[in-house]
A and B are shown apart, each in its own frame.
Chain A
Amino acid sequence: MIEEQSIIKVGMADLNVGSEHSMIRTTGLGSCVGLTLFDPGKKLAGMAHVMLPSSEIARDGQLNIAKFADTAVPELLTRLLALGAVRSRIVAKMAGGSQMFAFAGGNDTMRIGPRNVESCKLALESLNIPLIAEDTGGNYGRTIEIACASGILFIRSVQKGNKEL
């Protein structure tokens, strides 16, 4: 029997949640981080495509909370809890945060990938959510997909092949 599976797309600086029969996908992660939360009991999962480490650097206009690590992670948790997830069961996985271009010199913008990863970890820590797997860093792009039924995170890349976490 093939289950009808719906695919939920998460764009850049976006987040979304899904239940058992869906896959959540985000494409073309470079320095951005794809962070997923999963409740194995309720088979609920959520994904955020984080672009920048901290909302403190935001200027001008309204804040897109899905864009920044420090605001996206709490929001994703809130959305998942609203669907009925049990907080104590929630675990996190993440991928991305690579450094696409290698430049000499320590310009901060150039290190955005590693900084995104650090900020995501800090945000998870402050919410007491365990990070059980990650595939971060490197210098290549990734497309990731989480199966909401199993919590398995599928990672595809052009340069390094496929992986499952």
Chain B
Amino acid sequence: MELFKNFKDFKMDVLKEVGNIGAGNAATALSQLLNKPIDMAVPKVQLLSFEEITEKVGGAEEFVYAVFLRVEGEAPGNLFFILTPEAAMSLLGRVAGIELSGNSELSEMELSALSEIGNILAGSYLSSLADFTSLSMYPTVPALAMDMAGAILSYGLLQFGQMGDDALLIDTTFMEGKNEIEGQFFLIPDPESFPKIFQSLGVPFEND
């Protein structure tokens, strides 16, 4: 993973902008769905160990809802939209008008609605990214999972696993109002996608 350790700051900034544009569009989409302003934190681009990545959502055992899309095309990668159970419930309540009973089991209808919300947001993330880089990126059909964060996220790290023990993660957090975290977008491009992303944005890619 020497490749990424040598990234200069400005390359990290380029990737931050990539995350910013994608998540910015997704935030707009979410804001339209909710008819409410949504704030977004400045994206973080970090080279993290697998352990640290799961720490970002509260630890490997933390129960989360996640919509996962495999990105295919010229710059393949993995995209996760991660929600705490509370955020998922409130999202469902407000977007789909589904009144949730107290028990944590979601019905098929609710799961499907949640998956669709994730799909809309992830789709807008990805399409703005594809426009920005003029690279072709196609999302696979989204899959929804509710489980331990470690079990879910490890899935997105397999491509990096072949190379090293770290992955480069573009992480954007959504907030509504003050500090209430609504959701997190994790984009984990495959290692071989980085040269393509840089190249398409006119950034020379050498190991400098």
Interface residues, chain A, with chain B CB atoms under 8 Å away = 11-13, 27-32, 51-52, 57-61, 64, 67, 98, 100-104, 109, 112, 139-143, 157-159
Contact = CB atoms under 8 A, between A and B. Distances in A.
A105 B7 CA distance: 36
Contacts of A58: 162-163
B1 to A, nearest CB: 7
Interface stretch (B27-35, B93-101, B148-156): B148-156
B165 A141 contact: no
B141 A103 contact: yes
Contacts of B153: 28
A27 B59 contact: yes
A89 B120 CA distance: 55
Nearest to A27: B60
In this complex, the interface size class of chain B, counting residues with CB under 8 Å from chain A, is: 20 to 34
A31 B155 CA distance: 7
Contacts, number: 107
Contacts of B161: 13, 51-52, 67
B146 interface: yes
Contacts of A103: 70, 140-141, 143
A102 B59 CA distance: 24
Given A12-B54, A30-B147, A101-B155, 8 more contacts: A11-B50, A29-B151, A52-B161, A57-B162, A61-B163, A98-B151, A100-B145, A143-B60
A-B pairs with lowest CB-CB distance, top 3:
A28-B150, A141-B151, A30-B151
Contacts of B68: 101
Contact of A100 (B1, B3, B147): B147
Interface in B151-175: 151-155, 157-159, 161-165
B61 A52 contact: no
B206 interface: no
Interface string B82-121: 0000000000000000000000000000000000000000
A101 B143 contact: yes
Interface of B: 1-3, 50-51, 54, 59-61, 63, 68, 70, 140-141, 143, 145-155, 157-159, 161-165
Contacts of B146: 158-159
A158 B63 contact: yes
A32 B141 contact: no
A32 B148 CA distance: 13
B151 A140 contact: yes
Contact of B158 (A64, A104, A109, A158): A109
Contacts of B140: 103
Contacts of A67: 161, 165
A52 B60 CA distance: 18
Given A57-B162, A103-B140, A159-B147, A28 B155 contact: no
